[in-house]
Amino acid sequence: MASRKRRSRSSRRSSRRSSRRAGNVRARPRVEARSWLSGKVEDFATNHFGGNIDAVRKFVDCLYNAGAKTVYVEDPYNEEWRQGSYADTLRVVLPKDRTKSVKVMATIGRQKPDELDVARDGTVRVWWD
């Protein structure tokens, strides 16, 4: 029987800490926002956008115009009673250019999200209840 190498407890703890420091989080399913919005969509963040998909499309366009590298719809889901897909979270990839990043963040801020999480990987999670 081959001997199995065991890592020490401190080594395992150190590995977990460095993983958290690197900004590793559970990967969530995501779809590019314009692509998702062109499909069969029931709604996006109903409590905020009030069922107006055109307003969501306009907001996504504003993010790209401000300099966002990519805008994703995060965790889209389908429920049997809905006529299409639903989501309430965007993941925005910020540009490297600081001036453009500030513009993108200002664009997001104008929509008054309920939660705004800036990750170390240069993305921003934007959520509305």
Give Rg (Cα) of the chain: 19
Residue numbers of the domain that contains 109: 29-127
Distances in whole angstroms, Cα of residue 40 to Cα of each of 26, 35, 61, 77, 114:
27, 10, 19, 12, 25
The predicted model gives 41-70 an average pLDDT of: 93
Cβ neighbour number for residue 52 with a 10 Å cutoff: 13
pTM of the model: 0.76
The predicted model gives 35-41 an average pLDDT of: 86
The predicted model gives 65-70 an average pLDDT of: 98
18 has a pLDDT exceeding 50: no
* Residue at 104 is within a domain: yes
* Residue at 4 is within a domain: no
* Residue at 10 is within a domain: no
Bridge partners, residue 124, by sequence:
92, 118
* Residue at 92 is within a domain: yes
* Residue at 72 is within a domain: yes
* Residue at 23 is within a domain: no
Q: What is the pLDDT of residue 92?
A: 98
Longest dimension (CA), the chain: 64
Q: What is the pLDDT of residue 26?
A: 54
Could you tell me which of 61, 55, 75, 74 has the C-alpha nearest to residue 104? Answer: 61
Element (H, E) at 25: none
